[in-house]
Amino acid sequence: MALAIFDLDETLIHGDCASLWTQEMVKIGWADGESFIGHEQELMRQYAAGTLAMEDYMAFTLSPLVGRTPEEVAHVVEPFVEDVIEPIFYSDASRTLAAHRAAGDRLLVISASAHFLVSAIAERFGIDEVLAIDLELQHGFYSGRTQGVLTYREGKVTRLESWLIEQDESLVGASFYSDSRNDLPLLQRVDKPFTVNPDPTLRAHAEQAGWPILSWR
């Protein structure tokens, strides 16, 4: 049994769950329309360019959750995942997950999105184990702040290494699937890196390194 690790956004799903959640928060009145979406999109452009400070993105996009309970947020997330996210699941992702299950591999999603989103989406794929950005609670309410190491760029490697120790697991024979240049630190750590619909920078690196380039739909 080996680890099969998956990025989430633009890898398992055809879209970015955090951006779609931003639109959902505007739709339900938790955030203020055009200005909120416009600033989020600018931050996402920085992400695509590999220049984003994830702390800035999280501080901005978590602001509508301040003072809300996890239960209140989960009540909104569940139909959001069903109505917005499930329709953009990649069929090829589902087939690949099934193949890894058949091989007896252990499935893990590691994502630079908030844990409450990633875990809800991973559950729909039948994946129980998730590493994502953890949020701080104060007296049972979201504070708008993150906690711990953020699962972004090198932070994914740091969090995964801690998880491996906790789980008495190893990266021997491990696979990792991702679309993003931001995941190069982790792609370079596993035995079997796979690029999925890679961005231009990741594609160029994959071609040079001889990594598989997958076109998922």
Q: What share of the chain is helix, strand, coil (3-state, %, to 5)?
A: 50, 20, 30
9 is catalytic: yes
7 is catalytic: yes
Q: How far apart are CA 31 and CA 189, in angstroms?
A: 39
- Which is catalytic among the residues 9, 179, 183, 199? 9
What secondary structure letter does DSSP report for 82? I
- Which is catalytic among the residues 7, 16, 105, 183? 7
Q: How many CB atoms lie within 10 A of CB 85?
A: 23
Mode of pairing for the β-strands spanning 141-147 and 130-138: antiparallel
User: For residue 77, how far is the Cα from the chain centroid?
Assistant: 15
DSSP-derived 3-state class of residue 132: strand
Which helix or strand (DSSP H or E) is residue 38 part of? helix 33-49
Q: How far apart are the first and last CA of the chain?
A: 27
Q: How many CB atoms lie within 10 A of CB 89?
A: 16
Phi first, then psi: what are they for 128, rounded to 5°?
Answer: -95, -25
Q: How far apart are CA 190 and CA 170, in angstroms?
A: 10
Query: Residues with catalytic annotation?
Result: 7, 9
